[in-house]
Structure formats: structure tokens, C-alpha cells
Amino acid sequence: MDKKKTISSMSLRDRIAYCTGADMWHTKAMSRYGIPSLKMSDGPHGLRCQSGEGDNLGIHASLPSTCFPTGVSAADSWDTELLFKEGEAIAEEALEYGVNVVLGPAVNIKRDPRGGRSFEYYSEDPHLAGKLASSYIQGVQSRNVGVSLKHFACNNQEYKRSNGNSIVDERALREIYLKPFEIAVKEASPASLMCSYNRINGIHASDHRYLLTDILRKEWGFEGAVITDWGAMSDRIRAFQAGCDLNMPGGADYMEEAVLAAVKNGALAEADIDRCAERILKLTEQYPSHPGFRFDRKKHHQLARQIACESAVLLKNDGILPLKRSDIGITGYFAKELRYQGAGSSHINPTELHSVTELCPEIPYVSATDRSGNLIELSRAVKLAKRVKTMVVFAGLPDNYESEGYDRKTIALPMGYNTLIREIAKVNENVVVVLLGGAVMELPWADQVKAILYMGLPGQAGSEAILDLLEGNANPSGKLSETWPMVQEDVITSETFGTKNPCYRESIYVGYRYYDKAKIPVRFPFGHGLSYTAFHYSDPVLNGNILETAVTNTGSRSGKEVVQLYVCNGAEGFRAAKELKDFRKIHLEPGETKTVRFEVRDDFFTVWQDGGFRVIAGEYRLAVGSGSADLRGSVPYTVKGDCIKEPMRGTWYEHPLGAPSQQDFEALLGHPVPEEKEPVRGEYTMDNSCYEMMKDSLVMRLQYLFTKAYISKPFKKEERTMDNPAYHLILTAATDCPMRSLVINSNGVMSESLAEGLLEMANGHYLKGIRKMIRR
């Protein structure tokens, strides 16, 4: 179909309408013009395809699909081939369910471990996140299903995600936050990209021409469609101009009249609308449905099991693992109810699910804790620990700790788990901890136990994988994709995280880039992960621009190693001490040696400066190793590049000790941080939420109560508590989202004129408000 011709044959009103979805998951079918609709469903670690009532928060049912390990776990595999396979499998499930575009992968950087969606995201490191996403995308798209790479950009917290403003300096933006998107766009050509909810340096993602057109399309060559996150559309006129194509979900005609008027009065060019419509049409044509496909449930479950095994990280092992089933006792709630995924839009209805206690009823077991990690039967667990050779404790983050929509308050475990582990360790010297949870945790008892196996959120085959690993039928080969600090206070954003308008004062010093440079000891470094076998690295050798190292499995089991390449910049200047530049996961039989070759490229030595990535001349070291703090050898490397003056001399950015001040940050930004006053009655706009306005508006207090009652309906009385992640999430989402998002997300319940009327009233203009509503 000639897209231009088709689009130009449509009336202006139809073209505008086409750029907003039909319902929760579909684009509009424009049958008059021969245009079918396109179906989207959530990823990223499985398919959340809904056939009944739709929602974007994981509340209503979805069809059974394979729940693969969530982003954090998949990333810990450091295995691009596996991510490709996962992508292929998810695409097959999409084919069966008639889904044309999968909403994922999600590559937002883990700026602070408390971010509520850490479990869905890949890493604190942009290179790792970008490479894994590229493979996943290639896997999905190899089966003729599209992806939507999300959430672009700087959506690194849940608090006020819909109207908060991420204030970031250009260098951190380019080197850290945009980098995974850049890698994935350039390497994997995602079919579409989802813009985030938040503002970036004052401009909403949907309206951000600099991000969506100048960088994404012009610089990186993105040819797909840009879709809003669900309810993220800010100003439809600016968004058309910015290159934001599709407004999702459908059901409301938000700002369509205003767009029409803007075209009529010359404020918006029709060509801007046409370009968006053409890109949506292109996406629809590129990924048609293939009815009749059926995916292999058993095979996918086995793939989920394999990924769970390969992403488990053996954090510590004093030689106690692997162990014999007959030697152990088990305690901890998650052994009888596996914690395997997080809450929110990525929530999957698994095709099968087992618990460890169900898989091995012969192993003596005491729950000891409840679902929330409170101790309920400590003495029974201690009694069991006294009688068995080895005690395996299941601990981690309860499901209400991590969710889309809100952040964690702390990285501490529930006290119950800390006490349980300590008390068991007092009576049994052989304690193995199996940790479940989608993000970094404080482990104050780490020195008191013999082994710690971190499973992340391992998906529906997690219990099988845990047993495979504990018993040595699988050999752990995962590596941490984020640093585990000793305590929360060590996180550079520990004091500043979780405000409405976060200033990214730490700039490029995210994760290991900060701990290394500031010399802060950590519990487990980035890239760390042990194996039941051992690997020896030969001294790396540089041949031209190829760095080689031979790795030998010196143990008695076959295993996999992730060979990591870092560029060490030395300690001087506004640079990270080291940065991951490449990695390779290899399989080695006992005694086997493989040579790993890395190509050394100029872009290893670049810094974003004066509007571009510049190669910085200097003396570097290229280091290879088994983890960022376990480098096994290095070679010096001289770079002749642009001789750029060291920026930010004598500031925190050169010597990041303590926390950066606002002045440091403003010097880096090159201007003061724009002041944003707390909005008050009389100044409220469609960007404010009911929750923000209710402090001085009776109308908004009433709206809050009405909304609360409305959203509570599907929940049983006892489920209406903030301890229930689904309830917490939907209450926050419905009452603390901007009025414009409410219009878009409410499927017509809250019309634009009703919202505008309520807003007038919140601003104290009651008559005006009523008039607006009547106009409705």
C-alpha cells in the first residue's frame, strides 16, 4: 500500500483520529481506507495479553503465557544468545494471541536501587542494557512481531512518574541514560519506541522534539513509530510537532478538537500529522497477524528454566554448594510460594508454576515467615536447623516491596528474614541463603552464612531452577548487572532520590562508576558471580586492535564464564575509573581453553563534550576479568584523540567524595536548576493530579473519594490495603496522575470537558467550571 497516498486520501479529522488508539491495546482500524488495526500487549518478560477487560497496571486477567525471568534476572545472565531466544519465544506467544507489537524491552538505567521497576530493567550500565535489549529485539522481530523499546527517557523512578521533571546534564544524558536506547536503536532497529511519562529537563517526553526527532530519528536513524506510554500524552499539538506518533490508550479523543483548530489557524502543519499517521500505518503493515500459530508451552517453560538457571548469581560459596537433597532442611515462605515476578503492567499469568516444597515434599520444611517476611514460627525453624546437616533459608523481598507505580522505601530486607537467618546461623554452621527479589538488598548477615544464591525474580520455572542449581545439575554462571552496596547510605542518590523533580546531580557516576571512583567498599561488585568450577585467564595480548585472552576451565565441572572487558581511565578527571565496553559468555568443559577476542574501538574512549562524542587522548588500560573488581589482566593502551581540556576541574565531579552540591550541579548544567513552585489553587493545570490539588480543593477531595470508591470495586474488602501491590498501584495511578492522563486512561468516563470543568472548580472558578461541564 502506498502509505503517503492512503494517508492523504483520509480526511484531516480521520488522520488526527488515527493517531490515537482505538481502545486499551489496539490502534484504530480505518476500514474505509483499507487500514486494519494493530494489537499491542505488554512485555517485557512474557506476554500480558488481555482478552477481557483491559488495563495497563496488571489488575485484570490476562491469557496464560510463559513468565520468563524478569529483566533483572535476564540481565544477570549476560547472555545475548539467550535473550535472543527469549525474544523469539515471546514472539511465538504473540503470534498465537494475534499480538503484533510487544511492549518491551525496558532499558531504563537503575539510577537508585529503590526504583520500583528495577526488577523490570536490565542494568546500571548502559552498554550491558543496550546489548541485551538489542538481542531481545532481534529475537522478537526475527519472528515478524514488532517491539516497543521503552521508556524513553530518564524515567528512573516511579514517584510522580507522570509529571515529575528529571533534570539531567547533557553528558549523563548521552553517556548513561540515552546510551542503551542508542545501542538498541542502531543495532536492532526496533519497530517502535515508547516515550515515558515524565518530563526531561522541563519538557514532557511526548512533546520532546529534541529527543524524539533530533536525537532519535536524525542522529540515530530510527525509522519506527513512537508510541506514548499509556496516558503519557501531554500536549497533542506539540507532540505531533515533536514526532510522537501514536497516543495510547484509545477511548478518549483527547485534544483532537484543539489539534484541528491548530491546523486551521496555521499553528500546526498538516505534514506533521501526516508523518505520524504514515509511521503508524507502516508499523501496521510491517507486522501483520499470522492466525493459526500455536506456541509450545512445555518448550517455553524449559527455556524459562534455562534462563533462570543461567541468570542465577552465586554471590558467595564457601564450598558448601552444590549439596545433597538428603542433607538439607528448608525454611522461608518463598519455598512454598515462589516469588517470581513483580507487580504492574508486566504481570504475567503463567502457564505453569511450582513451588520447591511441592517439587520435593520429602525435604523437611518449616515456613517460619509469612508472605510479608514477618516471623511466625522461629522456634520450629531453629529446631529443624539443629537436626539437619545444612539449612537452606529462602529470603528476599515480599511482593508488596517492588512494583510499578511506587518505589521502595529502603533496600533493607524485612526484619523477619534478617532475624531468621541470624538465629539459624547460631545453631547450624551450614547455612545457605536463596535470595529472591528484583533488586539490590542489604545483607547484614552475609559473613555469617556459607553460601548465597541470588535468583532475582526467576519467572515461572524458578523453583525447578533453584533445585537444579542447589544440587549441581546446573552450574551458576550469572553475574551481577548492578552493584550491591553495603548499606543504602552508600548509594550516591540515597539522600536525593524520590523527589518530584529529581536533579541527577551525580551525573555519570551511576552504580559502579560511582563506587569505584569514590572508593566506597561494596558488598558485591558489578559483574560479580561465582561458579562451581574455576576459570584461569591468560595475560591479555593486543594484536593490532584485537585484544585476546585465553580462558581455561581449571575445575572439574563444565561451566560458563562471562569474560568482561573494561577500559580503565585511571583516577584522574571527570571520568569513571573504569567502564564496561564488551563481554562474552563462553561455555567450557573441564580442562578446555577458549580464546576470547575483543575488537578495540575508538568509541571505547569517548566522552560527550561540546555537542558530540569525542575521543579523549590519553594513557588507558584495557582490562579483562571475571567481574569489575576481579580483573585478571590488562594491557596499556595509548589513545591519540581530540585533546580536550578536562572539564569541571577541582569540583566534586573530579573527586566525588561526599555528595555533590546543588552549586556543583548547576555549574555542570551551565545554568541554575529552574525553580518549580508547589502549585496552589488558582494555578492548577491539566498537568496536576487530583492528589496534588486536594490540599486546597473540596472538589478534588470529592473526586479523590469517588475515584477511590470506583477503583476499589474489583477488590475484595481485605484486598483494599496499601500492602496489596495491585491496590497500591492503581490507587496511586488513578489519583496521582495528571488530569490529562485521567482523561486519556479513563476510556471516556472522564471526558476532557468534565476534567476541564473540575479543574476550573479546583482553581476556585465554580461557574466557569459548571459552564465547561454543561458544554459537554
Please give, one letter per residue, the 3-state secondary structure of 383-411: HHHHHCCEEEEEEECCHHHCECCECCCCC
**Of residues 130 and 405, the one with the C-beta less far from ligand BGC:** 405
Give φ, ψ of 426 to 5 degrees. Answer: -70, -30
**Of residues 145 and 453, the one with the C-beta less far from ligand BGC:** 145
**Of residues 363 and 733, the one with the C-beta less far from ligand BGC:** 733
Count of residues that bind ligand BGC according to CB under 6 A = 7
Handedness of CA 70, 432, 413, 359 (dihedral sign): positive
**Minimum distance from CB of 229 to ligand BGC (Å)?**
5
Q: Does 464 bind ligand BGC (CB under 6 A)?
A: no
Q: Does 150 bind ligand BGC (CB under 6 A)?
A: yes
Provide the pairing of β-strand 631-639 with 618-625. Answer: antiparallel
The number of helices, as runs of H, and strands, as runs of E, in the chain is 24, 26
Asked if 368 and 376 touch (Cβ cutoff 8 Å), the reply is yes
Is residue 296 annotated as part of the catalytic site, yes or no?
Answer: no
Binder of ligand BGC out of 229, 482, 561, 736 (CB under 6 A): 229
**Of residues 150 and 578, the one with the C-beta less far from ligand BGC:** 150
Query: DSSP states of 223-291 as a string?
Result: -SEEEE-TT----HHHHHHHT--BBSS-SS-TTHHHHHHHHHTTSS-HHHHHHHHHHHHHHHHHS---T
Q: Does 103 bind ligand BGC (CB under 6 A)?
A: yes
**Minimum distance from CB of 438 to ligand BGC (Å)?**
15
CA 736 remoteness from chain centre = 21
Q: Does 345 bind ligand BGC (CB under 6 A)?
A: yes
Residue 734 C-beta-side C-alpha neighbours within 13 Å: 24
Q: Which residue bears the cell 539443629?
A: 386
Q: Does 56 bind ligand BGC (CB under 6 A)?
A: yes
**Minimum distance from CB of 345 to ligand BGC (Å)?**
4
Question: Residue 246 and residue 280: Cα distance in Å, rounded?
Answer: 7
Binder of ligand BGC out of 42, 93, 112, 272 (CB under 6 A): 42
**Of residues 225 and 480, the one with the C-beta less far from ligand BGC:** 225
Residue 32 C-beta-side C-alpha neighbours within 13 Å: 7
**Minimum distance from CB of 198 to ligand BGC (Å)?**
11
Residue number of the CB atom closest to ligand BGC? 56
The torsion defined by the Cα of 646, 649, 652 and 656, in degrees rounded to 10, comes to 50
Q: Does 227 bind ligand BGC (CB under 6 A)?
A: no
Nearest C-alpha neighbor of 207 from the set 232, 176, 178:
232
**Minimum distance from CB of 196 to ligand BGC (Å)?**
8
**Minimum distance from CB of 360 to ligand BGC (Å)?**
36
Q: Select which of 42, 55, 229, 274 is catalytic.
A: 229
**Minimum distance from CB of 21 to ligand BGC (Å)?**
11
The torsion defined by the Cα of 371, 375, 379 and 382, in degrees rounded to 10, comes to 70
**Minimum distance from CB of 56 to ligand BGC (Å)?**
3
Asked if 237 and 204 touch (Cβ cutoff 8 Å), the reply is no
Asked if 360 and 325 touch (Cβ cutoff 8 Å), the reply is yes
**Of residues 137 and 328, the one with the C-beta less far from ligand BGC:** 137
**Minimum distance from CB of 226 to ligand BGC (Å)?**
14
**Of residues 345 and 564, the one with the C-beta less far from ligand BGC:** 345
Nearest C-alpha neighbor of 565 from the set 545, 581, 587:
581
Binder of ligand BGC out of 97, 181, 230, 333 (CB under 6 A): 230
Please give, one letter per residue, the 3-state secondary structure of 672-727: CCCCCCCCCCCCCCCCCEHHHHCCCCHHHHHHHHHHHHHHHCCCCHHHCCCCCHHH
Q: Does 119 bind ligand BGC (CB under 6 A)?
A: no
**Minimum distance from CB of 411 to ligand BGC (Å)?**
22
Q: Does 745 bind ligand BGC (CB under 6 A)?
A: no
Q: Does 147 bind ligand BGC (CB under 6 A)?
A: no
Query: DSSP states of 453-499 as a string?
Result: EE--S--TTHHHHHHHHHTTSS------SS-EESSGGGSTTTTT-S-
Q: Does 192 bind ligand BGC (CB under 6 A)?
A: no
- Please classify residue 222 by burial: count the beta carbons closer than 10 Å to its beta carbon, then call 0-12 exposed, 13-18 middle and 19+ buried: buried
**Of residues 91 and 315, the one with the C-beta less far from ligand BGC:** 91
**Of residues 229 and 579, the one with the C-beta less far from ligand BGC:** 229
Contacts with ligand BGC in 301-340 (CB under 6 A)? none
Question: Residue 198 and residue 368: Cα distance in Å, rounded?
Answer: 42
The torsion defined by the Cα of 486, 490, 493 and 495, in degrees rounded to 10, comes to 110
**Minimum distance from CB of 74 to ligand BGC (Å)?**
16
**Minimum distance from CB of 92 to ligand BGC (Å)?**
20
Residue 130 C-beta-side C-alpha neighbours within 13 Å: 22
Give φ, ψ of 332 to 5 degrees. Answer: 110, 135
Q: What is the grid cell recorded at 479?
A: 553475574
Q: What is the grid cell recorded at 105?
A: 524491552
Give me the residues that bind ligand BGC (CB under 6 A), please. 42, 56, 103, 150, 229-230, 345
Known catalytic residues? 229
